[in-house]
Amino acid sequence: MEAIAVIVVIWIAGALLVSLFSEKPPKGTHKDNSSYRSPSSTRTSSPPSRPSLPPATHKPGTYRPRSSTSVPSPKIEFTDTQNIVSTATQTGTAISKKDLEGLNDAFTGAPLDPALGLYHCSVCKVFYHKESYDLLVEVNSSRCVSCSRASIKALTETEARSAEHQNFRPDVITLSEVKGHTGRVVTFRGFVHDVKVSQRGSDYAVMFENTSWTRGFKLVFFKNAARTIGIDYIKGLKGKTITARGLVIQHERFGYQMIISQKSMILED
């Protein structure tokens, strides 16, 4: 009996051993030895190649930048502005002093210069420079000194070339005729009794009557004009008989006066 019991125990033990070796490999291992790789073989093997991708398709309207080497960089060229001016003159799109030869600013009498800006009266056809027009806006309600109409407008060079034109020839008057020419440019001749300075010290009055600033007829040089023409020159007119061209206005506070903006408006001193 004891021998039989020993044989049974040995048989059971052997069966257990067989069952242990016949179990599935633990999780994470490969059942197929052909696909299993040991750690050492993994270190020496080359990395797997990337799977090939299908060719990209372009959707309509999708922006795709080109290679920087496929398009040459544009060459930057700078325009010669001097050449533009000369070309414009040759083609007749610009106007020069020569084109306006013989024409004068109706206010100052100066020869017309297109570089100074051109204005034109549509009624009597006289011309002005921009500075003269600006002064007329300030002291003469924008009215023309020739026809007394507010009909002055700016001109382009093309318009100036084809505009009807005439020169304004002012009347020559004396002291007794001043009041009848208010709002007009005249040529005046008279004796200078005194030169007065305004209270603010920047404006000057060349007096043709021996009276106060507000009562007598005078030439008025405002601040900017006085500096441009020269204060010493203005003061030096005292005691002289002079001829001047300018706009006669009647100021509500300062009385009758003629505005002088340029030295060329003093025709004789």
Rounded Cα gap, residues 267 and 115, in angstroms: 24
Query: What distances in angstroms separate CA 217 from CA 59, 67, 195, one per listed residue?
Result: 86, 82, 12
- Residues constituting the chain: 269
pTM of structure: 0.55
Check whether 42 has a pLDDT greater than 90.
no
pLDDT value for 82: 35
**pLDDT, tens digit (0-9, with 9 covering 90-100), for 215-250:** 999 999 999 999 999 999 999 999 999 999 998 999
> Across-strand partners of 104?
111
**Which pLDDT belongs to residue 268?**
86
Closest among 241, 245, 265 to 171, alpha carbons compared: 245
How far apart, in Å, are the Cα atoms of 222 and each of 15, 59, 61, 252?
A: 132, 74, 68, 17
Predicted confidence at residue 48, as pLDDT, reads: 52
- Asked if residues 111 and 103 have their Cβ atoms less than 8 Å apart, the reply is yes
What is the domain class of 98-162 according to CATH? alpha beta
pLDDT tens across 253-265, in order? Answer: 899 999 898 898 9
3-class SS of residue 173: strand
How many angstroms separate the CA atoms of 59 and 57, rounded?
6
The pLDDT of residue 159 is 87
Q: Which helix (H) or strand (E) holds 89?
A: helix 81-91
Q: What pLDDT sits at residue 25? A: 52
Q: How are beta strands 171-173 and 194-197 bridged, if at all?
A: unpaired
Q: Is the dihedral of CA 237, 238, 240, 243 positive or negative?
A: positive
* CATH number of the domain located at residue range(s) 171-268 in this protein: 2.40.50.140
The domain spans of the chain are 98-162, 171-268
Q: Name the pLDDT band for 33 (thresholds 50, 70, 90).
A: very low
